Amino acid sequence: MTSRPIGLALFSAAALALASGACERLGPGVSGIVDLAPPGASALTLTYLGTGGWIMAHDGAMVMTAPLFSNPGFVRTGLATIASDSARVERHMRSYEVDAARVILVGHAHYDHLMDVPVVARRYATSARVLGSRTMANTLGTWSGLEDRIDVISHDDAADQKRPGRWLPYGRRVRVLPLRSDHAPHFDGYTLYEGTYEHPRSTPPRTATEWVDGPTYAFLIDFLDADGSVAFRVYYQDAVVAPPYGYAPDGLIADRRVDVAIFVPATFDQVDWHPEAFVENLEPRRVLLGHWEDFFSPVADATRSIMLSDIEHFEDRLEHVFEGPWWRPDIGTVFRFPRER
């Protein structure tokens, strides 16, 4: 493993910030069902699972992004061992039918994005491939039981603002374009749990420091009609990044803007021009906020914003540059959006 260790002093600084009120309780977010599509109409459905997790579906085609349900507590995460809690995963995943999922997207390999993926993939999304970086693949290694279901993003696959990259097909009705991205610092210029794995692990990581990030990717997800045309285009990021990292190719957006952009407010103030630059790049019709809640609490109690982030400030900045509708969903919220002509 290649990594840059973060010591107890940094964890203590984060704990001090948390204790001093960096996690403020927000007003209620949108919850339940937000249904904007006429009955019977072709629609895009998005369900928020918490942290980076979403279920995206259109006309039988389904994509997942890596969820976290185990939510180990703050002190345990910083100072002790952590592991996926299969009982908690079961408690929440049994509410969802994800047999049709063709792929689980993993933007980076920190524990809050990857730790529950093996249980979800083996027990629920049993037909899904798992797409991410080489470090993601090596973190799951031989212990996860997923080595035959992992797709590693290559240099030629990943796109950026000027380079088109390569669409990866998942069945006839879904294609995914990885976008070169990065992970913003968590606080004061420090990024926790940085590193790469060059070889597959034979045992699961035991501590948060062993769940290193590896290369980070955002994604464009196209849901296709039977004739191959784009029915819906979704942008997904699971980590804040400084532009132009995380951008979609200009040519693609000129041909077809994004229908729904999923942004991350957590630690947005550690970089410049987030979300403003991404609104300009993607020209989204609608915006959803993910990975905003305190994932150190049990899922049912995740009603506080993620530590060290002023979510209300993020929302104010978004409103200044984005004229369309946007939502900050509570966990379990379902959106149903109509096709735009």
The domains of the chain are located at: 33-338
Nearest-Å Rg of the Cα atoms of the chain is 19
Q: Is the pLDDT of residue 9 over 60?
A: no
> What is the residue-averaged pLDDT of the chain?
89
* pLDDT (mean) for 145-164: 96
pLDDT of residue 192: 81
pLDDT of residue 12: 38
Is the model more confident about 5 or about 148? 148
What distance in Å separates the CA atoms of residue 127 and residue 121, rounded to the nearest whole number? 8
Sign, CA dihedral 260-178-65-3, equals negative
Q: Is the pLDDT of residue 16 over 80?
A: no
Q: Is the pLDDT of residue 66 over 70?
A: yes
SS3 readout for the chain? CEEECCCHHHHHHHHHHHHHHHCCECCCCECCEEECCCCCCCEEEEEEEECCEEEEEECCEEEEECCCCCCCCHHHHHHCCCCCCHHHHHHHHCCCCCCCEEEEECCCCCHHHHCCHHHHHHHCCCCCEEEECHHHHHHHCCCCCCHHHEEECCCCCCECCCCCCCCEECCCCEEEEEEECCCCCCECCECCCEEECCCCCCCCCCCHHHCCCCCCEEEEEEEECCCCCEEEEEEECCCCCCCCCCCCCHHHHHHCCCCEEEECCCCHHHCCCCCHHHHHHHCCCEEEECCCECCCCCHHHCCEECCCCCHHHHHHHHHHHCCCCEECECCCCEEEEECCC
Q: Give 3's pLDDT tier (boundaries 50, 70, 90).
A: low
CB-count exposure of residue 108 (10 Å: 0-12, 13-18, 19+): buried
* pLDDT (mean) for 95-99: 96
Smallest CA-to-CA distance from 46 within 341, 340, 338 is with: 338
Cα dihedral angle (257, 282, 108, 307), rounded to 10 degrees?
-130
pLDDT of residue 306: 64
* pLDDT (mean) for 116-127: 98
The fold adopted by the segment(s) 33-338 is Metallo-beta-lactamase; Chain A (3.60.15)
Share of residues in the chain with pLDDT > 90 (%): 77
Mean pLDDT is lowest, of 78-87, 117-126, 285-294, 301-310, for: 301-310
What is the amino acid identity at position 96? Y
pLDDT of residue 73: 85
Is the model more confident about 260 or about 190? 260
Please say whether the beta carbons of 181 and 107 come within 8 A.
Answer: yes
Q: Give 15's pLDDT tier (boundaries 50, 70, 90).
A: very low
Per-residue pLDDT of 209-259, as tens digits, reads: 999 999 999 999 999 999 999 999 999 999 999 999 999 999 999 999 999
Per-residue pLDDT of 301-326, as tens digits, reads: 666 666 556 888 999 999 999 999 99
pLDDT of residue 5: 47
Q: Is the pLDDT of residue 139 over 70?
A: yes
Q: Give 299's pLDDT tier (boundaries 50, 70, 90).
A: confident
Strand partners, 65: 54, 105
Mean pLDDT is lowest, of 24-28, 40-44, 245-249, 272-276, for: 24-28
Q: Give 284's pLDDT tier (boundaries 50, 70, 90).
A: very high
* pLDDT (mean) for 289-302: 81
Per-residue pLDDT of 79-91, as tens digits, reads: 899 999 999 999 9
Q: Is the pLDDT of residue 6 over 70?
A: no
Distance of CA 48 to the CA centre of its chain: 10
Strand partners, 228: none
Q: Give 286's pLDDT tier (boundaries 50, 70, 90).
A: very high
Is the model more confident about 12 or about 86? 86
Which residues have CB under 8 Å from 312's CB, separation 6+?
Answer: 26
Is the model more confident about 24 or about 255? 255
